[in-house]
Amino acid sequence: MPAPLAPDFRPRYHELHRVGRPGWWRSVVGVVLLLVLVFAVVPLVVGGIAFVLLLATGSSASEASTVLDVTAEATPAGLALLNVILAAAIPLTFLVTWWLHRLKPRWVSSVAPRLRWGYLFVCLGLSVVALLASLGVAMLLPVQSGDMPTSTVNDFTSQTRDFILVILLLTPLQAAGEEYLFRGYLTQAFGSLVWAKQLSQALAVLGPALIFALFHGLSQDWPVFFDRFAFGVVAGILVIRTGGLEAPIAMHVLNNFLAFGLALAFGDLTTALNAEGGSSWWTILSTLTQSLVYLGLATWVARATGLVTTGPPVGGALPPAGGDPVLAVPPPRV
């Protein structure tokens, strides 16, 4: 049983579950529940609804399956479905946070507690600077001919137009959904499992990063896996340093815009969505440059602007088992 929280304890982002309902098991249950909901239940329900709607419009069962299966061939409808499924992680994260921990959902966004839009938009600009730095490094790296994108621009078709609309409208929600799940709830869950300061931070960063990389597919090659794991580590560090999800969301949105944009212009979106092979270890140097430059810039701006990185004092001890922390520990939920 952990010791009661000191009245002047100011929780950092990854420690917020500690001021909710007591019981480390709640965080474990929440992680399993959210992963099952987002990657099993929601795809089944939303995919089933989309499948029925396509049948109602006159499509055959095989045609509907082809349209919705982005792993076989990417289509605008299939990409939209994938984005909606991942965006559903936002309300589901809110629901689980309230139901299991009796913490108001806004505490998943940041310790403010809200999404700090000004900082998020600044981070979008910083992510462009970091991207330019990575492109500079990429120009100096040895690459194989298969790693170079073709110089031939794809034809602009009605399908290209539909892809662009889906990407612009839904990709930000998809990226935010992944961040609310992995860097949001999972960071707070892993950070609450142990009370040792350094170990708590390490678990809060490495645990979600590993799960994030694994859930992109077990067939991905090692360079791709490492790239996604490194992205998760940098994003996790940013969440703790800045006290919220704004910086990781901005970086994730720009990365997806760039990846999908290049695929539409020069490559193939199906290959970009799968990304299971053909990567070189040399590209890691470029992506690490982007992540580390962004980490430094986003951290510097947060400190220079005095961004809040801890919640208010809890003002009391943890509530008794079965008690309502909304009444026992009011400040972080008002």
- The pLDDT tens digits of the residues spanning 212-252 come to 999 887 777 888 888 899 999 999 999 999 999 999 999 99
DSSP three-state, residue 116:
coil
Residue 161 confidence (pLDDT): 94
Is 202 in contact with 28 (CB distance < 8 Å)? Answer: no
- The pLDDT tens digits of the residues spanning 266-297 come to 888 887 777 655 567 778 888 889 999 999 99
Q: Look up tokens 């709640």; give the residue.
A: 26
Residues 6+ apart with CB under 8 A from 123: 246, 247, 249, 250, 251, 298, 301
Is 79 in contact with 70 (CB distance < 8 Å)? Answer: yes
The Cβ of residue 39 has, within 10 Å, a number of other Cβ atoms equal to 15
- The pLDDT tens digits of the residues spanning 170-195 come to 999 999 999 999 999 999 999 999 88
Evaluated on CA atoms 254, 97, 83, 190, the torsion sign reads positive
pLDDT above 60: residue 333 = no
Q: Which residues, listed in sequence order, are joined to residue 310 by a DSSP beta bridge?
A: 12
Query: In the chain, pLDDT over 90 holds for what percent of residues?
Result: 59
Long-range contacts, stretch 304-308, CB < 8 angstroms, 24+ apart = 305/119, 307/116, 307/119, 307/242, 307/243, 308/110, 308/111, 308/112, 308/243
d(CA 221, CA 57): 39
Instruction: State the pTM of this model.
Output: 0.89
Torsion angle defined by CA atoms of residues 190, 176, 278 and 226, in that order, rounded to the nearest 10 degrees? -20
Query: In the chain, pLDDT over 70 holds for what percent of residues?
Result: 87
Among 141-145, 207-211, 299-303, the minimum mean pLDDT is found in 141-145
User: Residue 322: left (phi > 0), alpha (psi -120 to 50), or beta?
Assistant: left
d(CA 52, CA 58): 10
pLDDT above 60: residue 299 = yes
- The pLDDT tens digits of the residues spanning 7-59 come to 677 899 999 999 889 889 999 999 999 999 999 999 999 999 998 988 898 88
Helix then strand count (H, E) for the chain reads 15, 0
Is 227 in contact with 94 (CB distance < 8 Å)? Answer: no
Please list, residue by residue across 166-183, b when 16 or more beta carbons sit within 10 angstroms of its beta carbon and e when fewer do: bbeebbbbbbbbbbbbbb
Q: Look up tokens 């073709």; give the residue.
A: 150
